[in-house]
A and B are shown apart, each in its own frame.
Chain A
Amino acid sequence: GNSVTQMEGPVTLSEEAFLTINCTYTATGYPSLFWYVQYPGEGLQLLLKATKADDKGSNKGFEATYRKETTSFHLEKGSVQVSDSAVYFCALSAANTGNQFYFGTGTSLTVIP
């Protein structure tokens, strides 16, 4: 079946550090891949997405590339800010399962000044 596995947190980084949050997936066919972010006290919101292999999603300085050969969609940012402190969720949606969304367990990021 379809599933998403992301690195466990919590992750603590200093401001301006490089961020990588790993995400791998299992799916039949060609899913779309997503990163969602949940800021403290807020709801989940879409951060970026990629719908086919080799696509790169990007937003707010974050990037993730859809790698079919490694079934991965790792989230990266070159220089994190305190305001990036949040919980990040990797997710996939696949046509073979009615486009239902499958979410990873979430990775908590804290950026310290």
Chain B
Amino acid sequence: GAGVSQSPSNKVTEKGKDVELRCDPISGHTALYWYRQSLGQGLEFLIYFQGNSAPDKSGLPSDRFSAERTGGSVSTLTIQRTQQEDSAVYLCASSLTGATEAFFGQGTRLTVV
């Protein structure tokens, strides 16, 4: 596609519910990243996928968070039993192999009520 696409753009969910956030990276990009940006805060790294290698999950804040990347393309970030502190903008980015530019999606704004 033309850019990194994330869906939904906005999600309001009740505390305790599970949510799935989707990221469609740029076609051919082997690297995919998930970050979280809380209001007025910087970027918090969550998880990194690179090709067929095991993902770097070191940034996931708890075992309620998980992510997968199917067929080396689309990625889904799942948050189980959402809490109010999960409210944030979740950003996805992709890049080609190598230290090249990372392209960001517009993000999914998650609000847990």
Chain A residues packing against B (C-beta within 8 Å): 31-32, 34, 36, 42-46, 49, 51, 89, 91, 93-95, 98-106
Which residues of A are found within 8 Å of B53, using beta-carbon distances?
Answer: 98
A11 to chain B, nearest CB (A): 14
B91 to chain A, nearest CB (A): 7
Whether B99 pairs with A99 at a CB distance below 8 angstroms is yes
Give the 6 A-B CB pairs with smallest separation, nearest first: A105-B42, A32-B99, A93-B99, A106-B42, A44-B104, A103-B43
Chain B residues packing against A (C-beta within 8 Å): 31, 33, 35, 41-43, 45, 48, 50, 53, 56, 91, 93, 95, 97-107
Whether A43 pairs with B101 at a CB distance below 8 angstroms is no
Given A99-B31, A100-B50, A105-B43: 8 more A-B contacts, CB < 8 Å? A32-B99, A34-B101, A93-B102, A98-B53, A98-B56, A99-B99, A104-B42, A105-B42
Residue of A nearest to B51 (CB): A98
User: In the complex the two chains form, what is the Cα distance from A101 to B94 in whole Å?
Assistant: 10
Most interface-central of A34, A101, A104 (chain B CB within 10 A):
A101
Whether B95 pairs with A101 at a CB distance below 8 angstroms is yes
Which residues of B are found within 8 Å of A98, using beta-carbon distances?
Answer: 31, 48, 50, 53, 56
User: In the complex the two chains form, what is the Cα distance from A46 to B101 in whole Å?
Assistant: 7
Residue of B nearest to A107 (CB): B42
User: In the complex the two chains form, what is the Cα distance from A43 to B109 in whole Å?
Assistant: 12
B16 to chain A, nearest CB (A): 29
Whether B50 pairs with A99 at a CB distance below 8 angstroms is yes
